[in-house]
Every structure is written in structure tokens, then in C-alpha cells.
């Protein structure tokens, strides 16, 4: 199976989740939006994730606000320079390719926090992807850390995504 995990991260929590999902996928490559050209050849499974900001996907303004907050608290953000919105806008059409979307968000009811995964999935569908699943992984505060057990849940979710693929795709060796 040829799978890839692409993420945008601000504080490193989304990156950690992406890496755990890749383990569950059987060792798929993990790349930030800075490292992954949007016109890369389509994979059998594209897993895309980002942090939830202001009820949805991060924007240039919300990334700037996060950077300002990090500087005020001496936190060291692990911020992606290329936003997921921009990366997804450049994604070429991939009719019937498979994808999944995830986000990180504060551990509160979704109606309070919003969830970036909805916008990610919507944009993937616009580009012709069949979205197999979406999910959120929880952080305890804006900067994190991840809630206990979320990395293990991310590994399980990656394995569940492989199980949801047709046997002919899932049985092929994971590209490294």
C-alpha cells in the first residue's frame, strides 16, 4: 500500500499524532505541508490533518496569533510555514483516490471548539477523494499536551484505516 500522512502543526501536537497514525498504517511516510508538494503523485491512501483554530482549519491570521502567544509564554512552536488551506487548494484532482482527515482540538465539546477535520474532508472531496473516515485527537490546552492515550488511539486509527481499504490495496506493501 502506498500511503502518506500530511499535516500542518503549530505546537507539535498534530505532528505527533501524524507520526502515530503512520505507525498504525504500517510505517507510512509523514510530511508537513512544508515538505510535501501538493502535486506529488497520488497515494493509495492520503491522510491529512491539522489543528483546529477558531472552530475550523488554521488561517494565516490564527497561525500568527498562535506565534504571538507562544512568544509571550516562551513556548517554542513547531509551526508549519505552509498552511493546510493553501496546500489543499493546490492539491490536484484524484478521482476515487482514498483519504482520511484528522484534527487536533481542545478537549471540550465539539460545539464549543469546532473541528478542522470537517473542512479538510470537504476539500479532499472537492478534489475527487473518497474520504474513508475523519476523527479528532484531543489536547488539554491550546499548546497541548495531548490528552493521555491519544497517541495510542492515533496508532489504532491508522490500523483501522488500513483495514477499511480494499484487500488488493491494503495487502500491498507500505511505501517507505
φ/ψ of residue 99, rounded to 5: -150, 170
- Helical spans, DSSP H, in 33-142: 60-73, 84-89, 110-113, 116-126
Is the pTM value of this prediction over 0.75? yes
All structural domains of the chain: 3-170 (3.40.50.360)
Distance from the first to the final alpha carbon of the chain: 10
Tell me the pLDDT tens digit for each residue of 102-157: 999 999 999 999 999 999 999 999 999 999 999 999 999 988 899 999 999 999 99
**Alpha-carbon torsion (149, 150, 153, 154), positive or negative:** negative
* 145-172 pLDDT per residue, tens: 999 999 999 999 999 999 998 775 655 5
Residue 175 vs residues 1, 25, 43, 135: alpha-carbon distances, Å: 6, 10, 9, 24
Model confidence at 35, in pLDDT bands (50, 70, 90)?
confident
Amino acid at each position: 500500500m502506498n500511503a502518506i500522512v500530511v499535516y500542518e502543526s503549530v505546537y507539535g501536537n498534530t505532528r505527533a499524532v501524524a507520526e502515530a497514525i503512520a505507525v498504525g498504517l504500517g510505517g507510512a511516510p509523514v510530511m508537513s505541508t512544508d515538505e510535501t508538494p501538493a502535486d506529488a503523485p497520488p497515494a493509495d491512501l492520503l491522510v491529512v490533518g491539522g489543528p483546529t483554530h477558531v472552530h475550523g482549519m488554521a488561517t494565516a491570521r490564527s497561525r500568527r496569533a498562535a506565534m504571538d502567544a507562544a512568544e509571550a509564554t516562551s513556548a517554542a512552536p513547531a509551526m508549519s510555514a505552509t498552511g493546510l488551506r493553501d496546500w489543499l487548494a493546490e492539491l490536484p484532482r484524484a478521482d476515487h483516490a482514498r483519504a482520511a482527515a484528522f484534527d487536533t482540538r481542545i478537549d471540550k465539546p465539539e460545539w464549543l471548539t469546532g473541528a478542522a477535520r470537517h473542512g479538510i474532508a470537504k476539500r479532499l472531496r472537492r478534489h475527487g477523494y473518497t474520504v474513508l473516515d475523519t476523527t479528532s485527537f484531543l489536547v488539554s490546552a491550546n499548546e497541548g499536551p495531548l490528552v493521555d492515550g491519544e497517541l495510542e488511539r492515533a496508532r489504532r486509527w491508522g490500523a483501522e484505516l488500513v483495514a477499511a481499504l480494499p484487500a488488493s490495496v491494503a495487502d500491498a506493501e507500505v511505501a517507505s
